[in-house]
Structure 1
Amino acid sequence: MLLLLQTLVLLLALIISQEHESIAQYVPPYTTMVSPVHKHTDAATPLYSVQIDTLWEITRITHTNFLIDIDAPFIWHDCIPQWNKHPLTCPMFRLCVSPVSCEQSQCTKVRNSYSYKNRSCPPETNTSRLPGSGSCSCPINVMNPFTKSCSQALLNYDNLIVSTTNGRNPFSAFVVSTLNAACAPSSSFKLFPANVTGVMALSSSPYAFQTFFNQAAKRILALCLPSSNNSSAPGALFYGDGPYYFLPHSNFDITRFLSYTPLLKHPDSFGYFIGINAIVIKGRSIEIPMNATTRLSTTKAYTTLRTDIYTRVVKRFSKVTKRIPLAKPVAPFSLCFRTLITNGTRVGLKVPDIGFSLQDGKTWTVSTANSIKQVKKHVACLAFVDGGATSDEDAIVIGTFQFEDNLVVFDLENLRFGFSSSLLRRQTSCANFNFTNINTNRSLGY
């Protein structure tokens, strides 16, 4: 009898060992992942979320919308940390995850990896405890990107699901497991769009989402923001170096449209910065001071220019569009134009391109679709905003309106930023990735 038990234990150990070995050796069928991106117009300004699958009660999968934030140090969302996570113990329609204890090294590592200097941030202490265990939890601070208010969340171990892709379609599900995120109270999401219940960190932080992929996916993000809020025609977020195909160019890798410029580092920030030497409008260059920083943002709707730069841009743009009738300004814009309706059809404005002349000699071209915003039936405005004269802020912040229907790539492998300029001029758009899943039996790769 004893021999039989020993044999059973040995067989069980071998099975478990083989399962762990297969898990460790698992390689997804493709080196690129993809998630749909949605535009939301129900907030104060247009915002964008990435749709990620989450595991409810271990076996149930649902879609969750995370605000895209390329400045955030880690992921945080509306969830419940639970020490004893078992089926049926989690409240209905809530996501329950495993917490990180304050005694674990991961708690200290995450806390030491970022710093919020806002006075509203509470102290991070180790006194809080969750029901069901004597262990202390790990409070960390999160900051609302709109209100700049600070609140406290609890660090956890999370499992999020994305799809692998062959560049043309989603292929199969892939679980990004045991990543570190944080559970924040619902009050932390003030001014967020409806149905957006998390923040997806896509910054250069060591705890950004893409850092939890295996080496095959690389630390490369490609973001294509849609210009429409049509939920059935989303944009796309790719993790990995492609290829990326957008209809009707089903056999043309869209990365061929990309130009690159260096990504610059900035003290005390996980965000992305590039160098702009001048803003060029119809052959005339508006020089940018050498010490002026340019930040890329997914939470600012429109490109913001420091007052001294903004004034010169508006003056030059007014001069080259002087034949277009002016309209009364509509906040937050100061230069607006009348648009005409002919035979029931709006006649689009034709204005010169705006060029961001980059430090390495490349030019990021901003066409009419990304420089002129239709704000009323008969009014369209130059979609650049006066950021004020404050000298300690970034002189230029490039916002999401200028990203729409442009493929932009954050390449942390090679420390460079890729940009396509408008895809509309290439007879495609960010809504043209084919999200039809070619593998109906979604396999989970752990």
Structure 2
Amino acid sequence: MANPVPVQVLFFFLSLFHAHASTSTTHASKVDVPYTSIILPIRKDVATTQYHTIIDFQISSNPVKATLDLGGQNFWFNCDHINVSTAHPIPCASPKCKTLLDGKPTCTSRSSKAAATTSTCAVSASNSVTGLVVCGQSLYESSISVDTSDGRLYLFSEQLSPFYFACSSPGSSLFQGLAKVSAGLIGLGRSPLALHKQVTSSLNLAPKFAICLPAYDKYYGGSMFIGGGPYYVANRTAAFFSVSLTTTPLVTAPSASNEYFIDVLAIKVDGQPLRFDSSLLSIDNHGVGGTKLSTVNRFTVLHTSIYKALVHEFVSKAAARNITRVASVAPYEACFSVKSTAGTRTGPRVPTIDMVLPGNMNNVVWRIYGVNSMVKAKKDVMCLGFVDGGYNARTSIVLGGHQLEDYLIEFDLSTSRLGFSSSLHLQYTACASASRLF
């Protein structure tokens, strides 16, 4: 499989000149060059393939690394990573607590180092990796430092205050399953306490955020933009071009209001529609079915009926291309010899997988090439990187990280639309870059 050149994508190479020297930029410069978004780095953990970023707390001597969760409601961290004694607990009886928790405040009576009161505003902390939810985590406020951008350049650092978060005891089972580098979880769901909501509300930015997930490990990275575009990409010639996005509506599941769903109308392999019960693609009144996006799932998880249809059609189309099938490698069913297919800029030359989605006027297609559909299982063996979720899967399709990598994906909450680019590999580039290591 041909790897993309680790170019500086989405102006990441300019961060080499940043190094936080921009904090000395004057107020006049801020007025002359207004920013449209803030930017955070995204890294991929080798062992867990989880994606994480950093939050630069004013009350911490070191930035806090935490796992990204598209469906998460809030922030929670290891208390030992933050000097909570200098943070401000939110009183349960305060109007602020009521507002932040959508009018339904809960309280905790457990004392902490940061709170003399025995009644502080409390949130539930959830670990989407293990499914564990722990209630009664005290909510605090502090401030963080963020880097601003106009779509091409880093401009200066901006302070965001107040910034709300919860912290948990180091021995809590909440931390099980998280990457070793991760001190907690950052929620990006539809919640007042989600990262993007706090940033856009505080800095008066557009209610949008975009992610570009990297395919490589911690030595390469992607990025997250909060506040919207414009978005620019540099290819291997270092020439900038504007990223165009195809859009489709975001839909809401009745019982999963914090997560992001899209309406998949059909799935095709090399243009051939899969045959399965199409009602699985709809969300019923109980929130069962449909398609959601996840940064926590490593691979796309499919209802068994969809999975079997995909494997059957993919194997058939691969045979027509003279791609040699080999023995399965758990947990993958459809595996092939690497030597029987050529490498291209979009990965191995295998059948394409299309998700057909509603557009503005006509249907649109999210095309998945070999670099996102295949995974190396062992030497000279590649497998179809989709997972069987069983017949009782609550969500019929969960689009996982591997299938989302190296696409620029924007969540526009003002219009309730999802925007996505074509594979960045088509432009000889990717979300990976060698800048801003942490």
TM-score (structure 1 length as normaliser): 0.79
The offset of 1:414, in angstroms, is 1.3
Contact 1:78 1:95 survives alignment (8 Å) = no
Following the alignment from structure 2 to structure 1, what is the Cα–Cα distance between the partners of residues 368 and 270? 12
Q: In the TM superposition, what are the counterparts of 1:96-175 in structure 2 within 5 Å?
A: 96=84, 97-112=87-102, 125-130=107-112, 133-152=116-135, 153-175=137-159
Question: What is the SS of the residue equivalent to 2:180?
Answer: coil
RMSD of aligned C-alpha atoms? Answer: 2.7
Q: Which has the higher contact order (CA 8 A, sep 6+)?
A: 2
State yes or no: 1:330 paired with 2:313: no
* Structure 2 residue 253 is matched with structure 1 residue 243: no
How high is the sequence identity, in percent, across the aligned residues? Answer: 30
SS at match of 2:252: coil
Counterparts of 2:104 and 2:318, CA distance in 1: 46
CA contact (8 A) 2:88 2:140 kept: yes
**Rg comparison, structure with higher value:** 1
Distance (Å, rounded) in 2 between the aligned partners of 1:215 and 1:194: 32
Q: Aligned letter for 1:32?
A: S
Which whole-Å CA distance do the structure 1 matches of 2:311 and 2:436 have between them?
A: 40
Between 423-432 and 294-303, report the one with greater CA deviation.
423-432
Match of 1:389 in 2: 391
Residue of structure 1 equivalent to 2:7 = none
Letter in 2 for 1:365: R
Whether the 8 Å contact between 2:148 and 2:154 is mirrored in structure 1 is yes
Candidates 196, 208, 215, aligned match of 1:220: 208
- CA distance in 2 between partners of 1:277 and 1:126 (Å): 45
String of CA shifts for 1:183-204, please: whole Å, max 9, x gaps.
1223221111111112111112
Tell me what 1:259 maps to. Answer: 246
Residue-by-residue CA offset, 1:9-52 (whole Å, 9 max, x unaligned): xxxxxxxxxxxxxx9xx978312111110001222xx1101222
Cα distance in structure 1, aligned partners of 2:44 and 2:183:
14
AA paired with 2:350? V
1:33 aligns with 2:38: yes
1:284-341 deviation line (CA, Å, top 9, x unaligned): 1125325241111110111111011111111000101122222222222111112239
SS class of match (1:310): helix
The letter of the residue matching 2:272 is R
Q: Is the CA contact (8 Å cut-off) linking 2:46 and 2:218 kept in structure 1?
A: no
Aligned twin of 1:54: 57
SS at match of 1:34: strand
| Counterpart Cα distance in 1 of 2:122 and 2:179 | 25
Residue matched to 1:78: 78
Q: Residues 349, 251 of structure 1: CA spacing in aligned structure 2 closer, same or farther, 3 A cutoff?
A: closer
Residue type of the alignment partner of 1:236 = S
1:116-139 deviation line (CA, Å, top 9, x unaligned)? xxxxxxxx6542233562452233
Equivalent position to 2:259, from 254, 261, 271: 271
Alignment equivalent of 1:191, drawn from 177, 201, 213: 177
Unaligned segments of structure 2, at least 5 residues: 1-26, 283-288, 342-346
- Matches of 1:170 and 1:386, distance apart in 2: 42
Distance 1:47 1:40, change over 3 A: same
Gaps of 5+ in 1: 1-22, 81-92, 116-123, 343-347, 437-446
Cα distance change of structure 1 residues 305 and 113 upon mapping to structure 2, 3 Å threshold: farther
Distance of 1:335 and 1:149 partners within structure 2 = 32
Q: Secondary structure at the match of 1:321?
A: helix
